[in-house]
Structure 1
Amino acid sequence: MSSADLRYPRQTLLADYGRATAGVLLCGAPLLLLDVNRWLALILLLGFLLFAVFLARTALRHHTRYVLGPDTLCADGPAGTMVEWNRLDRLKLSYFSTKRDRSDGWMQLSVGSAGGRMIKLDSSLDGFHDVVERAAHAAETTGLPLSETTRANLKAMGISVAGQEEKV
């Protein structure tokens, strides 16, 4: 298996930059231009900080590339780290719904290996399914126990892991 260079799509990043910038401006401008009472100022400041963190997170995602190799997953960027598949000790696949009927949403994969920081990826990443498949294979190889939720989400993606069948 050769290495794959993965990034978040340009359109997704541009949309996130737009949302973050709009939030920073809409929350920050009144603080600078108007005389607002302290309770409203506190709410606006909290909103400003939230959108500023989202803007920083988007910039971090923009400047990070992920290299999926046969032995590792490497996050190459400002907060880079590496997961060694043969030392995998953490794997969590979560689904976040945006509708009550769970018909729309996104998935987030969190993986880590002994002594390293976690890598968190969401399903908008190009090649996300390949990373999840590789992580599931590594979990199977290392015998890493998976939560019921992670197993259900893997099954929803069409990925099965031997030895991780649901308990009856």
Structure 2
Amino acid sequence: MSHSVAGEPPAAGRRAAPPTIAVYSPAEWDLLTDLPGRVLVAAASAGPGRPPRGVAAGLAGLDAVAAGRGFDSDLVRAVVSAIYARHDGAAERHDRLTDMVDLLAACRATVRVLRRRADPADSAAYRQWVESVAARVCRVGDGASPADRRFLDRLGGALDLR
């Protein structure tokens, strides 16, 4: 349970936001918490030169998202907690958000938010974690195809990792 500065519990029915979350607006936080799922769905979707993925790829992506709980980054751990605590239909929204242009734009917007608000180490950890979700999905089966490698390169560029 979170406590106030004076050591008193927060007001009944309210939870104090962890400091990591408090620096982001609701729209920024939604962007940060939606992006890993969007990347997972895009990586698992068939595309030009990319084969359709099966259940194993989706499970690998979910495992990669969950692996964020073990990161040495307060931001990544807070995002993973928010993803697993969410019950607002976010999973259904990902079905219409797999367009590559939109996904790359969301990645760039996320990078801008992280530059303004996040500790540089948290920013790097978040961006690497999101890329690792896609990489794990793309490696399922026969490994990453040339089209998968192009997808990962474009994603890494949009996340400012290249």
Global fold match (TM > 0.5): no
Structure of greater relative contact order (alpha carbons < 8 Å, 6+ residues apart)? 2
Of the two, which has the highest radius of gyration? Answer: 1
Which has the larger share of strand?
1
Which has the larger share of helix?
2
TM-score, length-scaled by structure 1: 0.27
TM-score, length-scaled by structure 2: 0.28
